[in-house]
Structure 1
């Protein structure tokens, strides 16, 4: 029999031992996915994610673990409600969910840096970035770091963005007046400054290769993009305990520890379908020791939705009733594929081609942000698919320039671009720039000397995702948003049938 005093001593010891731990809950690239996403690739749940369900899971985890911090590595914005509220709803939601620190991602700049600057004070938690500056100054755009307390531990948090993320995944006009500097140099400088003041140091990053826009990427290793820039940061910068990565959505079911520095790297698959949790033992004399880490699925079949988050979302929808308007009906689900021809990509490219009145149209794979489910298609659903402020842009392209564009489209640097008016075969096993085998334009062989009318969005037309072949071409940037073009054509079509596949055929062995 255990005596009461002995039992009390045991309980105090267990509590003291428990309190020596520090638990970090983390997310990245939620991208305003408010509702659960169907998950047919899993046999243990039918739907994952949704911010009300994620919020409930966060609260459960915080009751089960002492000394917790909740952080996000960026890409909070995007989607129809974020766009309608210019990000204000997003900061309200994250504040209500109890985030302690957030990092800026490229999507936070979707409405331009001035709108972002004005919205950031709405967040009830620090929004960080240390390596974006007002151009030709040493004035940082955002707060560089924060020191927050969890129990008796002082935790330093630094925010960073990658060079490629800044230049190639943000519309140029939305970052004009800003510049980016080396994340590695900035991180080392801040780590040296903060390390003596804190017990634990976190770097939130938004770098690596851009994420694959494919809902089931968790089950498709062929589309995963890696975390090379985070790994390099872990090797080159001393003094970091934990890197919470973003941008590439390369989910890590188990933490990765760099063998040279001991820095731990974690990341989720994005879209709020998992909550990351990692725990460190803080009692060791030689510094924090990793205890365990995992990605917890946000099982919408079993988790209750958080009513406070649901209410915020419903209130925003009520304030923007135009989003509920039905524009068309879809017979079958239209799904994204990042490195392959997709039915949704072809459907969107066909709509853009018709609205612009051109011979060829292109929609980058990275611009297709959600699937379309069968049934009634609302404005909100369509804007979730393409939430950007790109304008329809028409370009007169010589056939030789069009061939160069097609080579870029099948390079898979940013996924497989989706086309209308084009039938091509290519070999993805060949070197980049030498992959196209055969091309026809609207049933006729590509003529390298002929001029073709081509349409895409203004982001791509002005160099986004590395499409730099338009610089010497005359750009006709129209006043029509690409998203409005989709809405107009879908309303004309009314009942949507998915295009047959076969436009883009990979002949690789």
Structure 2
């Protein structure tokens, strides 16, 4: 791919030189008010919800008001995103997130870090998205295996009211597990701490006043990351003291508001949020899907940066008159929305009950949505049983009419349906891996038409269609191409002699199944 061969040359140099014409570094005796606004895990949510809240237009109106407020006080605003702009709503996914990135450009985003879902599409599409955005996509720990060069701009500098602000990007090494192996084949995700140390040493030569790590690593309270890769807490603890002022993160969709011994479950009841602080570094994250805007108000004085106030602000419809810029953004996004609505409003079928695909549920227990998706794939492939990782399931569908939009919200990734012929012994070996994926993670497996017990790290008493598994008998298992090629750490089956990729797209298979079987 030409994209990653030349990406470093084409994109790194211009952004490394952003705002190089500093007249002078900020005088150590002057006071500067700096407001950092941040979002993360947007996931295609460019349009407002049924109540008229959320969405990029409401977010932009809020950002404009804050910019005016801060400017009136003589301060400056830096606007950052911590990755995963891609994947989550059909309105965005079918348009390759073009509305989202073009809108973020008009909103004046300064930079974003590269999230794992930026690799849900091919490299040429990611390159196109960078063109739409016009701001730097940062990541210091992703390398091109063929050239041994970084695949993205590692860091950039920005000048705000005389302050020199350095921003470095980091991406979770779990991307190589949860992402498509075909798309990621030429990329190496290196340990983020060691790469951060390297670029911080480079950045220090430029003598920045403020340093921000813009990460897509995830937040795990007290560093307890379980089977996931280490996140922002561990990063902060391992960085040299004083090397970074704050970590603005994403990936886990967390409101990082801490209490005495845990995250503050009642943070919405308070006007302010207390971000985590580790090794002298503030850690912040603002949930997901543009529902909240993180606002950190700082004072820089005598060489010191002090956090005066931090808030997670709900993005709601404004009662004030819209500015021309906000009105123009609404017109832009409305055009995209109208274009795609005709396709998405097509009725598919009817549900008598809610099918549960909520992230917090489907990643921890077997659900009827998992059963439904696998049943559809088994029906298409005439399989005896099936499996799917829960991270592939992105939404619930409520009881009532079901549209194509609903189906695409559940399965937005465009994986193909595959099957593989396995002996009973091979099935045992396979289950001994996937049946023990950690509950709460996207790797947690949903099963259908197969049952078993777990005993000391092994499966036992396996039955298929209610009958005991026979070691020498051959069975057919359905699964998405993502899992068949090793996604979420599942055993790779695409080279197995009994493997077949049908080419049928998972969402289309589910849509067809619902249409034939409703009401369900």
Return the match for 1:457 from 480, 484, 492. 480
Equivalent positions of 1:118-129 (< 5 A) are 118-129=128-139
- In structure 2, the CA distance between the partners of 1:319 and 1:47, relative to structure 1 (3 Å rule), is closer
Instruction: Measure, in 2, the Cα distance between the counterparts of 1:55 and 1:469.
Output: 44
Q: Pick which of 396-405 and 66-75 moved more.
A: 396-405
- Distance verdict in 2 for CA 1:192–1:333, change over 3 Å: same
Alignment match, 1:229: 231
* Corresponding residue for residue 485 of structure 1: 509
Whole-angstrom CA distance in 2 between matches of 1:489 and 1:113: 32
- Are the aligned partners of 1:159 and 1:205 in contact in 2 as well (CA < 8 Å)? yes
Q: Distance in 1 between matches of 2:149 and 2:225?
A: 38
Aligned pairs for 1:298-317 within 5 A:
298-299=315-316, 307-317=327-337
Residue of structure 1 in register with 2:312 after alignment = 295
Alignment of 1:284-363 (within 5 A): 284-285=302-303, 287-299=304-316, 307-320=327-340, 321-335=342-356, 336=358, 337=361, 338-363=363-388
Query: Residue 163 of structure 1 aligns to a residue in which SS?
Result: coil
Deviation, 1:180, is: 2.6
Cross-structure match for 2:447:
419
Verify: 1:199 aligned to 2:209, yes or no. Answer: yes
Using the size of structure 2 for normalisation, the TM-score is 0.78
Q: Any idea what the Cα deviations from partners look like across 1:410-442, whole Å, max 9, x if unmatched? A: 43253532222124455xxx86x34x5654322
Q: 2:285 aligns with which of 248, 267, 285?
A: 267
Q: What is the alpha-carbon distance in structure 2 between the residues aligned to residue 223 and residue 49 of structure 1?
A: 30
CA distance in 2, matches of 1:303, 1:110: 38
- Which 10-residue stretch deviates more, 52-61 or 300-309? 300-309
**In the alignment, structure 1 residue 283 sits paired with structure 2 residue 301:** yes
Q: Does the CA-based 8 Å contact 2:345-2:405 persist in structure 1? A: yes
Contact 1:154 1:198 in 2 (8 A): yes
Larger mean Cα displacement after TM superposition, 272-281 or 470-479 = 470-479
Residues 64, 449 of structure 1: CA spacing in aligned structure 2 closer, same or farther, 3 A cutoff?
farther
With 371-380 and 299-308 compared, the bigger mean Cα shift is at 299-308
SS in 1 for 2:174: helix
Aligned-pair CA distance for 1:350: 1.7
Instruction: Name 2:10's counterpart in structure 1.
Output: none
Q: Does 1:367 align with 2:386?
A: no
Pair 1:63 & 2:68 matched: yes
Distance of aligned partners of 1:98 and 1:308 in 2 relative to their CA distance in 1, 3 Å threshold: same
Match of 1:396 in 2: 421
* Count of residues in Structure 1 that have an aligned counterpart in Structure 2: 453
CA distance in 2, matches of 1:421, 1:402: 13
Alpha-carbon displacement from aligned partner over 1:310-347 (angstroms, at most 9, x marks no partner): 43333223334323322222333333212112232222
Classify 1:381/1:150 alpha carbon distance in 2 versus 1 (closer, same or farther; 3 Å).
Answer: farther
Q: Is the 8 A contact 2:79 2:110 kept in 1?
A: yes
- Whole-Å separation in 2 of the counterparts to 1:144 and 1:21: 26
Equivalence for 2:275: 255
2:173 corresponding residue in structure 1: 163
Superposed displacement of residue 256, structure 1: 1.3
How much has 1:116 moved relative to structure 2?
0.8
Partner of 1:53: 58
Secondary structure at the aligned position of 1:479 is classed as strand
Shift of 1:37: 6.3
Residue 301 to residue 156, structure 1, CA distance change in 2 (3 Å): closer
Q: What is the CA–CA distance in structure 2 between the aligned matches of 1:446 and 1:362, rounded to whole Å? A: 16
Hey, what does 1:187 align to over in structure 2?
A: 196
How far the C-alpha of 1:93 sits from its partner, in A, is 2.2
Asked if the contact 1:112–1:175 (Cα under 8 Å) also holds between the matched residues in 2, the reply is no
Against the structure 1 CA distance between its residues 404 and 82, is the aligned structure 2 distance closer, same or farther, given a 3 Å change threshold?
farther
Q: Give me the whole-angstrom Cα distance separating, in 2, the residues matched to 1:163 and 1:466.
A: 13
Unaligned runs of 5+ in 1: 1-16, 39-45, 212-221, 498-509
Q: Residues 297 and 309 of structure 2 are in contact (CA less than 8 Å); yes or no, is this contact kept in structure 1?
A: yes
Report the equivalent of 1:6.
Answer: none
- Counterpart in the other structure of 1:445: 468
**Counterpart of 2:100?**
90
Q: CA RMSD in A?
A: 3.1
Contact persistence 1:126–1:143 (CA under 8 A) = yes
1:382 aligns with 2:402: no
> Distance between the aligned counterparts of 1:455 and 1:100, measured in 2?
44
Determine the C-alpha separation between the residues in 2 that align with 1:277 and 1:352: 44
1:258-288 CA-to-partner distances (Å, cap 9, x unmatched) read 13xx122111222222222222221144x21
Aligned to 1:8: none
| Contact 2:45–2:289, Cα closer than 8 Å, also in 1 | yes
Residues 311 and 490 of structure 1: CA distance in aligned 2, closer, same or farther (over 3 Å): farther
Structure 2 counterpart of 1:503: none
Contact 2:45–2:92 (Cα < 8 Å) also in 1: no
- Give the secondary-structure state (helix, strand or coil) at the position aligned to 1:111: coil
Partner in structure 2 of residue 111 of structure 1:
121
